[in-house]
Structure 1
């Protein structure tokens, strides 16, 4: 069933990974590197967005609440409602840190930082 903006509810992760991410000012901020799933509740914990780095060296990963991403057909990418300053100040993680404690530490820090409504409550 399509969403209010005409998008479908279901989308393959393979189609999401590699998609560019922009802020509301239209600035390119990175791309989706992965999607973290919470398999016990069948929820999407967060999108893993890569910022900076070159060929994977020095890249930082940000866990952005999935509901914060809105697909923009004109940009052919996702838009998040955060400024570059908010994103620069956001917690960032290594690949290994994203899954420590089953990802719960990162998930909770992400939802707290971005003041997103927790999907698990």
Structure 2
């Protein structure tokens, strides 16, 4: 069976990882490192954007609400309405300091990006 990584409306998580993230003026902010998926609904709730570092060492990660991203086929990446200055104050973590994905942490993310929180199944929290 042939495995397709992309159709006109679907894309595999493997292909999302590594996709560039731009702001609305075209600045490259980083790339999608991973996605966070709600276990119960199966919906992607966050894109974890990586930036900085060298050869994967010293990278930092910003969780971005998935709903804040728009795919731009001309750029071949995702666009978020976010300036570099606003990104500097955003929630961030490193590999050695993974966050606890609590309701409070998610609320902090959504408040920073001015995006309504995703209220899927959060029974485990």
Structure showing greater radius of gyration is 2
CA-CA distance at 1:112 after TM superposition:
1.6
Confirm or deny that 1:118 pairs with 2:117: yes
Does structure 1 residue 35 correspond to structure 2 residue 35?
Answer: yes
Q: Which runs of 5+ in 1 are unaligned?
A: 1-6
Task: Provide structure 2 residue ranges, at least 5 long, that are not aligned to the other structure.
Answer: 1-7, 121-125
What is the TM-score when the length of structure 1 is the normalising length? Answer: 0.82
Does the 8 Å contact 1:63/1:107 carry over to 2? no
TM-score normalised by structure 2 residue count: 0.79
In structure 2, the partner of 1:12 is 12
How far did 1:11 drift? Answer: 2.4
Please, which moves more after superposition, 105-114 or 50-59? 105-114
**Does the 8 Å contact 1:63/1:106 carry over to 2?**
no
- Tell me how large the CA RMSD over aligned residues is: 1.7
Deviation at 1:106, TM superposition (A): 3.7
